[in-house]
Amino acid sequence: MKHLLAWSLILTIAVGIPLITSGTGDSHTQVQVIQPQRRSMASVVSAAGTIRPAQVVSLRPEISGTVKSVAVTDGALVREGALVLLLDDAQMKAEQEERAADERLAKLAVTRTEHQKRFLKAKLARQTALFEKGLINQEELEEAQQAFVLAEVDVAEARERVIQTQATLRKIGENLARTRIHAPISGRVVKVDVKPGEVALAGSESLAGSTLMKLADTDQLVAEVLVEEAGIAEVALGQRVRIFPVTAEDTPVEGQVQSIAVAAEKPQDRQARGFKVLVALNSGTTATLRPGISCRAEIITHQSAETLLVPIESVRFERHDQHEKPFVFLLVEGKAHKTFVTLGAANDRYQEVVAGLEETASLVAGPYRTLQNLSVGDAIVAQPAR
């Protein structure tokens, strides 16, 4: 969610340094006093989501078959190219032997037809010589010519049969290779979806058995967050992002906006629509993260120069000429002194003061109830340090 004028501190240092005065009396009201300081601020868009691997691969069979064995379990680490699953190949191997026998027979047929072709070629030569001497008639010569032509056709047909059986053998060999499923990436097995004896189905993503297992590269993590419609216009590729995982809220992880969805969606667990934003996390900062961890994100959409900041509860307003003028209380010589200020941007915790307040001022910052009832000239004293 994007806050109104959503700003957050770049540094986690408190806005002010408590100032302590000596001596307290019954006639003095104790207040919290700080010294405003200059800090850099950033405009942010807030979002929530989860940590997930940058790359998740679903292994699906290229051919259908019965699962013979699974070489990995959930959570196992695998290297690219490692054997992770076997499909039963007994039937394919039997078919391969049968087609290999067909290939041998086809090659024998080539040998036979080539021999027959050579014989008929020699016979045609003899018949031609006899015809030229007038010893045989035209019909006998044409019979020899026809027999030779048919022999050439038989040779060509036998050779094509060899090519056909070899193609079948190659296809069977390729399918046999597909019965051995290898890891396409190095990573961790996220989930194994099949067991030995079950049927793996090729060509379908919706039926049981169509997905064998999922692998994820857990060394490269990203944050997938949902930015509400009101804030997506401020988000752009490459913007700096702070990710706060629920397991380490005090230790944000840095990253950059990697991609922004082109269309909004409405998750079932949310009422508002939003856009998915993918945040690439900086290398070396994800050692303590795990896939699936919930997180919140602060997408820094604008960086400002150093500015004077005060707690937002320290700012009060006074009606003046139909307008509300902001002011703060200062501790001056033991009394509450009012000074009007000019405000800048704010969030739910801090307010930027652009004019009317010095960095050396002793600002009255609370407690909230005391501050609301404070009047000009009241005797006040800073609360002792704890």
Nearest to 221 by CA among 156, 286, 295: 286
CATH number of 50-54+218-301: 2.40.30.170
Write down the pLDDT at residue 23: 38
Would you call 331 helix, strand, or coil by DSSP? strand
Same fold, 16-41+307-382 and 59-88+180-216: no
CATH number of 16-41+307-382: 2.40.420.20
Round to whole Å and give the CA distance between 277 and 289.
19
Contacts of 176 (CB under 8 A, 6+ apart): 89, 92, 93, 96
Using an 8 Å Cβ cutoff, are 332 and 364 in contact? no
Write down the pLDDT at residue 208: 67
How many Cβ atoms from other residues are within 10 Å of residue 89's Cβ?
20
Round to whole Å and give the CA distance between 227 and 278.
10
Rg (CA), the chain: 42
Would you call 282 helix, strand, or coil by DSSP? coil
CATH number of 59-88+180-216: 2.40.50.100
Write down the pLDDT at residue 220: 86
Nearest to 215 by CA among 381, 326, 59: 59
Query: In the structure encoding, which two tokens stand for residue 78, read together?
Result: 């695998």
Using an 8 Å Cβ cutoff, are 53 and 187 in contact? yes
Using an 8 Å Cβ cutoff, are 255 and 223 in contact? yes
How many Cβ atoms from other residues are within 10 Å of residue 180's Cβ?
14
| pLDDT tens figures, 106-127 | 999 999 999 999 999 999 999 9
Write down the pLDDT at residue 4: 35
Round to whole Å and give the CA distance between 248 and 171.
54
| Cis status, amide bond into 245, omega within 30 of 0 | no
- Parallel, antiparallel or unpaired: strands 380-382 and 29-53: parallel
Torsion angle in degrees (nearest 10) through CA of 363, 367, 369, 370:
-60
Please give the DSSP secondary-structure letter assigned to residue 384.
P
Query: In the structure encoding, which two tokens stand for residue 67, read together?
Result: 């699962």
Write down the pLDDT at residue 115: 97
Query: In the structure encoding, which two tokens stand for residue 316, read together?
Result: 């009060």
Backbone φ, ψ for residue 185 (5° rounding): -140, 165
10-residue mean pLDDT profile of the chain (386 residues): values are 38 40 58 88 86 91 94 93 96 95 96 96 95 92 95 96 96 95 92 92 74 89 92 92 89 93 84 90 76 91 82 89 90 92 79 89 90 90 75
Sign of the CA dihedral 198, 204, 207, 213? positive
Domain ranges, ordered by start, for the chain: 16-41+307-382, 50-54+218-301, 59-88+180-216, 90-174
